[in-house]
Chains A and B, each alone.
Chain A
Amino acid sequence: MSPYTEREMMSIAAGRLVKNGQVLFAGTGLSMLAAAVAKRVNAPDSLVFFETGGIDPSLDELPLAVGDPRVMAGTSLNAGLVDAFAFLANPRLETIAFLGAAQVDRYGNLNTTLLGDFQHPKVRFAGSGGACDAASLAFGFIAFMQHEKRRFVEKLDYLTSPGWLTGGDSRRLAGHARGGPLAVVTNLAVLKFDAAEKFMYLDEYYPGVSPRQVAENTGFPLDISRARQAEPPSERELTILRREVDPERLILG
């Protein structure tokens, strides 16, 4: 087994969550790598599209932003923003969105808006972008997070994008016909959500990480009773990621 980096493990762990045939709504960065790896390993019939409207680009070169011309190259269709979100909401498709956030809570709700008090924030971030729409409309979403106590919080400073809201069937009762967070992929672990009560639990911790270490870096009580160790990246996964997906290490670093 060759050594691998945190970013490689995260991309591969997220890619493994994709089921063949699902339609992937990717941003850039790790989500791009996860989608590209999934397509080559476990989801050959899946395709990737972007909020700027590029549907199924050839990805001969990695796009570095959703406005990158590489998002529009070799596509089946270059639609627009409004179309992209309509496709995302299409009930015939199992669309999976990849999102990142500054904070997440135990129900997978996300904050990408600010830290501190709303009127006098300590830090102001870019805001929702398309994240709230994606979290609301997609069949499901997967969040990427750095695993730190200050990011896994009891209460968000601001609710930007809805996860399972307050758990149970609160999301449905709030009017969301479908969707919700399927998993949170961090630099330590993959976390999933209880089927009935919708709270976050530790599903897989990466090799070299202990369940306790994951719990200690989480700012709310974390169920680690179902945890098992993740498979390390296989040679095949690593080779595909390094040679085909990001040979210049533009995102892998």
Chain B
Amino acid sequence: MPAALLRQDPDQNTLPPFLVDAVVPVPFGAHPTACNYFYDYDPEHLHRYREEAEDEARFAAYLREWVYGLPDEAAYREKVGANQLQLIRANSQVGYAVGLDRR
């Protein structure tokens, strides 16, 4: 995105330039948490995270599996799976995945 575009409607901006080093598009980059109007949180993954974070050894295993053991974001998305990502895609009217099973 050219910088000039940002200056056409500065009322829509919330960050000043001196706080920004780069803009990097990362689809589903906030997973397993949500990005309003793009995708919801992933309840299944968050439940799992909560359980595994209770124990040091299991948390270390979680980090190996989901963070350190993956080369990049594309590999992470692939591991989560296209079906799961489709499930949490946000409804464009309300900003979250309507009726998502969150139990």
Chain A residues with CB under 8 Å of chain B are 58, 60-61, 64, 67-70, 72-74, 248-250
Chain B residue numbers with a CB within 8 Å of A74 are: 94
Indicate if the CB atoms of A61 and B95 lie closer than 8 Å: no
Chain B residue numbers with a CB within 8 Å of A70 are: 96
Chain B residue numbers with a CB within 8 Å of A67 are: 33-34
Nearest-CB distance from B50 to chain A (Å)?
Answer: 12
Cα–Cα distance between A74 and B37 once the two chains are bound (Å)? 12
Indicate if the CB atoms of A250 and B90 lie closer than 8 Å: no
Chain B residue numbers with a CB within 8 Å of A250 are: 102-103
Q: How many A-B residue pairs have CB under 8 A?
A: 31
Among candidates A58, A60, A64, A73, residue contacting B102 with C-beta atoms closer than 8 Å: A64
Cα–Cα distance between A170 and B41 once the two chains are bound (Å)? 44
Interface SS of B by simple majority: loop
Among candidates A72, A248, A249, residue contacting B36 with C-beta atoms closer than 8 Å: A72
Chain A residue numbers with a CB within 8 Å of B102 are: 64, 248, 250
Chain B residue numbers with a CB within 8 Å of A72 are: 36, 95
Cα–Cα distance between A185 and B96 once the two chains are bound (Å)? 32
Indicate if the CB atoms of B95 and A69 lie closer than 8 Å: yes
Chain A residue numbers with a CB within 8 Å of B34 are: 67-69
Cα–Cα distance between A74 and B94 once the two chains are bound (Å)? 7
Nearest-CB distance from A66 to chain B (Å)?
Answer: 12
Chain B residue numbers with a CB within 8 Å of A64 are: 102
- Interface flags for B88-103 (1: CB within 8 Å of A; 0: not) read 0010001110110011
Cα–Cα distance between A2 and B34 once the two chains are bound (Å)? 38
Listed A/B pairs (29) with beta-carbon separation below 8 Å: A58-B94, A60-B94, A61-B96, A61-B98, A61-B99, A64-B102, A67-B33, A67-B34, A68-B41, A68-B96, A69-B34, A69-B36, A69-B37, A69-B40, A69-B90, A69-B94, A69-B95, A69-B96, A70-B96, A72-B36, A73-B94, A73-B95, A73-B96, A74-B94, A248-B102, A248-B103, A249-B103, A250-B102, A250-B103
Cα–Cα distance between A136 and B99 once the two chains are bound (Å)? 37
